Homo-oligomer: A and B are copies of this chain.
Amino acid sequence: MSTEDAFVDMALRAWKLNVDRTGKFFSSLSEEQLLHEVAPGRNRLVYLWGHLAAVSDALIPLLGFSERLHPELDVMFISNPDRALAQTLSGAELTSIWNEMNDALWLGFGKLSASDWLDKHTAISDQDFAREPHRNRYSILLTRTSHLAYHFGQAILTRSR
């Protein structure tokens, strides 16, 4: 493996580790457990899971793979806070969306070369990218990996000891 490919491999391993532990945790919860708050008055588990799914689904166009698979998630889990809408999704629905969306992402990741990873994502102009070359696909992968860990750390607080 080339040096460049090794750096890509490291970041993909870190992403996969976080996606897998997050999916394993949330998909094992009952519909009732998904309604638990991570702390008094804070987000419910179902909202956190939907939020993570929505943010990851948005990576599909951001990295230039295809259109969103589930743009409908945003109104439920990004543009509105938890409990603002009566409408939400079941654990079964979120598990299915989670797996489908992560499979699509993984497929797209595998098609990117090391230089593709250092190339701009679709939400930055050529002008801005010329000034800030660190705003590339790889940076998006790293920050979204941290975002997964950030909310997984919150979700895990509900696990009984």
When distances are taken between beta carbons in the complex, the residues of chain B under 8 Å from A152 are 150, 153
Query: Within 8 Å of chain B (Cβ to Cβ): is A106?
Result: no
Chain B CB within 10 Å — which of A115, A133, A149, A153 has the most? A153
Query: Within 8 Å of chain B (Cβ to Cβ): is A7?
Result: yes
Cβ proximity bits A89-130 to B, threshold 8 Å, 1 near / 0 not: 000000000000000000000000011011000000000000
When distances are taken between beta carbons in the complex, the residues of chain B under 8 Å from A42 are 157
When distances are taken between beta carbons in the complex, the residues of chain B under 8 Å from A146 are 14, 17-18, 145-146, 148-149
- Smallest beta-carbon distance A53→chain B, Å: 17
16 residue pairs from A and B, CB less than 8 Å apart? A7-B114, A7-B118, A9-B134, A10-B134, A10-B138, A14-B142, A14-B146, A17-B143, A17-B146, A40-B40, A142-B145, A145-B145, A146-B146, A149-B149, A154-B154, A157-B157
Main secondary structure of the interface of A (DSSP, over half): helix
Q: Provided the pairs A9-B134, A11-B142, A134-B9 are in contact, do residues A3 and B150 lie with their beta carbons within 8 angstroms? A: no
When distances are taken between beta carbons in the complex, the residues of chain B under 8 Å from A9 are 134
- Smallest beta-carbon distance A97→chain B, Å: 22
When distances are taken between beta carbons in the complex, the residues of chain B under 8 Å from A134 are 6, 9-10, 13
Query: Within 8 Å of chain B (Cβ to Cβ): is A38?
Result: yes
Query: Within 8 Å of chain B (Cβ to Cβ): is A4?
Result: yes
- Smallest beta-carbon distance A60→chain B, Å: 21
